Amino acid sequence: MTQYESGGPFGYGIDIGGTGMKAAPVDLRTGELVGARERIDTPQPATPEAMAEVARELVVRHAWNGPVGICMPTVVRHGFVHSAANIDKSWIGVDADALFTEAIGQNVSVMNDADAAGAAEMTWGAGAGRAGVVITLTFGTGIGSGMFVDGVLVPNTELGHLELDGHDAETRAAASIRDRDDLSWSEWAERVDHYLKHVVMLFSPELIILGGGASKKPDKWVPKLDPGCELAVATLANSAGIAGAAQLSPTAT
C-alpha cells in the first residue's frame, strides 16, 4: 500500500513547464507532497500528443487511480487552451481536458500554472486566510500572475504582459532579465519595484505574494522593494504548481 492509499483527502497534480513536467500526489489537508516528486523533460517539440503521453507516464509511475489536475503555461478557459507560451503553438484551440482525460484514462481538469501556484499559496501558504485582493507573482523566465478576491480566483490574468513604459513588463522585470542584461540585484529590484508600483496603482491589492525562482533568494531583492502594499514571500516553492493543480482532483482513497 502506498502512503496516499489511506487517510485523505488526496489529489494528484502535474505541473507542466517549458523544460520539465513534474508530478506528485498531494495531501489536500496540508499541501504536502506524499509521494516522490517525479520529473520528465518536456518533449520537444512540446505538442499536445507528446505531452499527453508524458502525463500518462507520470501517473503510471505513481500508480495513481483517480482524478488528475494539470497546470500549464497557457490561458485556459473551460478546458480549452488559448495561448502557448513555451509550448508548441499547435496547442491553441485544443480541448486539453479531453485530450489528457483520454490519454490518462482518468478525469482531468486543466488550469493556468501561475493560477495553480497562487491557489496553493492561498490555501496553505502566505495568502491563507487573507481577504480582499491578493495577487501572486512568479518571477522566473517570465512573470506569472494569480489574482484572488476574498480567496476566489480571477483566472488567466497574465499580469506579466502589462504594458509598462512601452514594453511588455516581463521583458524588463522577469528574473531571467537580470542575467540577460547583466544587472546587479539592486538594479533588477529597481525594475521590479517600478513594475509592482504599476500593479498596485491598477488593482490596489491588500497583499502581493512574490514567488518563482527568484524567491529562493529573497534577501537579495525583497527588502529593496517599496511598492505601497504589503509583500510576502511565497512559502511552497517548487511544489506550489503541483499542489495547486491537485486541488482540481480531490479524492479520498
Q: What is the pLDDT of residues 13-37, one digit of tens each?
A: 999 988 899 999 999 999 999 999 9
- Strands in 10-16's sheet, in edge-to-edge order, are 38-41, 20-27, 10-16, 68-72, 108-112
pLDDT at 6: 59
The cell for 21 is 513536467
CA distance 182 to 48: 36
Structural domain spans, the chain? 3-112+241-246, 126-234
How close are the terminal C-alpha atoms of the chain, in Å?
Answer: 11
pLDDT at 86: 77
pLDDT at 18: 83
How far is residue 140 CA from its own chain's centroid?
Answer: 11
Dump pLDDT digits (tens) for 33-73.
999 999 999 999 999 999 999 999 999 999 999 999 999 99
Please identify every stretch of the chain with a pLDDT value under 50, giving residue numbers as ranges: 1, 252-253
Among 142, 145, 157, smallest CA distance to 17 is for 142
pLDDT at 249: 78
pLDDT at 1: 37
Among 101, 141, 88, 144, smallest CA distance to 119 is for 144
Which superfamily does CATH assign the domain made up of 3-112+241-246 to?
A: ATPase, nucleotide binding domain (3.30.420.40)
Among 86, 55, 89, 58, smallest CA distance to 73 is for 86
The cell for 83 is 495561448
Q: Where would I find the beta strands (DSSP E) of the chain?
A: 10-16, 20-27, 38-41, 68-72, 76-77, 80-81, 108-112, 133-139, 143-149, 152-154, 163-164, 167-168, 207-211, 230-233
pLDDT at 2: 53
Q: Please tell me the class of the 126-234 domain.
A: alpha beta
pLDDT at 30: 95
CB neighbours of 72 closer than 8 A, spacing ≥ 6?
A: 16, 81, 87, 96, 110, 111, 112, 113
Say yes or no: do domains 3-112+241-246 and 126-234 share a fold: yes
pLDDT at 252: 41
pLDDT at 237: 85
pLDDT at 213: 86
Predicted model pTM: 0.92
